[in-house]
A and B are shown apart, each in its own frame.
Chain A
Amino acid sequence: MFWDPRTERMPEKELKEYQERKLKALIFRVYNHSPFYRKKFKEAGINPWDFSGIRDLSKLPFTKKQDLRDNYPTGMFSVPISQVVRFHASSGTTGKPTVVGYTTNDIDVWVECLCRGLVSCGVTREDVVQISYGYGLFTGGLGFHYAAERVGATVLPTSAGNTARQIELMKDLKTTVIACTPSYMLYLAEYALKMGTDLRETELRMGIFGAEPWSEETRKRIEEKVGIDAYDVYGTSELSGPLFTECEEKCGIHVWADHFLIEVIDPESGEQLNEGEKGELVVTTLSKEALPLIRWRTGDITVIESEKCACGRTHPRIMRILGRADDMIIVRGVNVFPSQIEHVLMQIPEVGEHYMIILDRAENGLDVMTIQVELSEKAEVDRVSDILELEKRIAEKLKSVLNVTAKVEVVNPGTLQRFEGKAKRVIDRRKI
Chain B
Amino acid sequence: MQDLQDWVIKQLSVFVENKPGRLAAVTEVLYREKINIRAFTIAEAGDFGIIRMVVDRTEDAFNALKNAGFTVTITRVLGVEVADEPGGLYKIAKALGEQGINIEYVYAFTHGDRALIILRVDNLEKAAEVLKKEGVLYKM
Contacts and interface: CB of A to CB of B under 8 A. Distances in A.
Interface in A164-202: none
Contacts of A412: 15-17, 22, 69-71
A381 B105 contact: no
A409 interface: yes
A432 interface: no
B73 A413 contact: no
B96 interface: no
Given A381-B50, A412-B16, A388 B45 contact: yes
Interface string B1-26: 00000000001011111000010000
Interface size on A, as a range, is: 10 to 19
B50 A387 contact: yes
Contacts of A379: 15, 71, 73
Q: Which of B11, B15, B120 has the most CB of A within 10 A?
A: B15
A428 interface: no
Interface in A344-376: 375-376
Given A375-B71, A377-B71, A412-B15, A382 B50 contact: yes
B104 interface: yes
Interface string A393-429: 0000000000000000111111100000000000000
Which label, helix, strand, loop or mixed, suits the secondary structure of the B interface?
strand
Contacts of B47: 409
A406 to B, nearest CB: 15
B43 interface: yes
A375 B43 contact: no
Contacts of A376: 71
Contacts of A415: 17
B66 interface: yes
Contacts of A410: 15, 48
Contact of A377 (B16, B22, B66): B66
Given A377-B66, A388-B45, A409-B47, A382 B13 contact: yes
B121 to A, nearest CB: 12
A13 interface: no
A389 B77 CA distance: 21
B105 A383 contact: yes
A411 B17 contact: yes
B75 interface: yes
A414 B17 CA distance: 12
A130 to B, nearest CB: 26
Contact of A387 (B48, B52, B105, B120): B48
A415 B22 CA distance: 11
Contacts of A70: none
A414 B75 CA distance: 23
A380 interface: yes
Nearest to A384: B45
Contacts of A409: 47
A375 B13 CA distance: 14
7 contacts: A375-B15, A377-B66, A381-B15, A381-B72, A384-B43, A412-B17, A412-B69
Q: Which 9 A-B pairs have the closest CB atoms?
A: A382-B13, A381-B15, A375-B71, A414-B69, A382-B75, A384-B45, A381-B73, A413-B69, A382-B73
Interface of A: 375-377, 379-384, 387-388, 409-415
Given A382-B120, A387-B45, 16 more contacts: A375-B15, A376-B71, A377-B66, A379-B73, A380-B73, A381-B71, A382-B13, A382-B50, A383-B50, A383-B120, A384-B50, A410-B15, A412-B17, A413-B69, A413-B70, A413-B71
